[in-house]
Each structure stands twice: as structure tokens, then as C-alpha cells.
Amino acid sequence: MIEQKVYFEDVQEGQEIPTLTVLCDSQRLVMWAAGSGDFYQIHYDKDFALGNGLPERIVHGALKHALLGRMLHEWIAPGGRIKRVACQYRGMDLVDKNVICKGVVTKKYQQDGQNIVELDVWTESEDGQKTTPGTAVVVLPSRGQ
């Protein structure tokens, strides 16, 4: 059984949430292709990627979106729920590098009986470039519940 690690009362604006680092090697990208159904060759065929003017195979944007979702899930599970994850793919992440997911709480409030927490979320490349800036909304359980 997974223990609840975070409750609404524990969260403060400005607080960083636990980082998630994932190596996006070719195996991960192929697993993503199968899992997502996105078989665009720029993600697993190097010749095809170079032929499209790219420097290498690139990490799927939607995989980075899903990794941000995993970071949030692992922070709020089992009692929390993700309401929204939004991000923009500003920079390319190349195959065989770590994608580092981060988040900071920007706002917390109660609305319609729900404990709502808003965050800035983003991915960074190994050299510290913010390649995927975004925002998220989650609902957290209360200690009193």
C-alpha cells in the first residue's frame, strides 16, 4: 500500500516538489511509441531524423508531458488527483539524455469543497535548459478527511 506523502495543509506557495529524472534512451522512446501510438520516425530512426533537418532523434513532446504527469502523480498519490497538465515544447531534447522534471507550487486555495494546488512545472535538459515550461493543477486530500 502506498502511503499518502503530502496533504493540502503541508503545501506552501513557493515550495518545490520532488524532482523526477528519467533517461530518455532509444528503448524508452520505442516503448513510448508503442504505448502512445505515435510512430513518427524522427523519434527512433536516426537517418529519418537527420533527413528532416534535426540534429538527432528527439524525445517525443508528449512523453515529456506524460513525465510531468508522472512527477505529479508520484507526489500526490494515492489520495490526490491531477486536474490539468499543460506544457509547451520550446526546446528539443535529444535521445540518450536525462530529462529532469521539476515543479514549484504557485497557489493553493479551496473551491467547491476541493483543495486545489496550482504549480509551475517544467522539464530541464542535463545542461539546465528549460525545454518544456508548463503549468499544472492538482487536488490534494486534507489531513482532516
Q: Which among 41, 19, 16, 15 is positioned nearest to 30, based on CA atoms?
A: 41
Q: Exactly one of 32, 44, 75, 122 binds other proteins (CB under 8 A); which one?
A: 32
Q: How far is the CB of 137 from other proteins (least distance, A)?
A: 8
For residue 62, give Cα distances in angstroms to 37, 51, 88, 92.
Answer: 11, 22, 10, 12
- What would the x/- binding string for other proteins be over residues 106 to 145, using CB under 8 A? ----------------------------------------
50 binds other proteins (CB under 8 A): no
Alpha-carbon distance 140 to 36, whole Å? 28
- To which residue does cell 502511503 refer? 3
Positions in the binding site for other proteins (CB under 8 A): 2, 22, 28, 31-32, 34-37, 40, 52-53, 60-63, 65-67, 69-70, 72-74, 77-78, 81-89
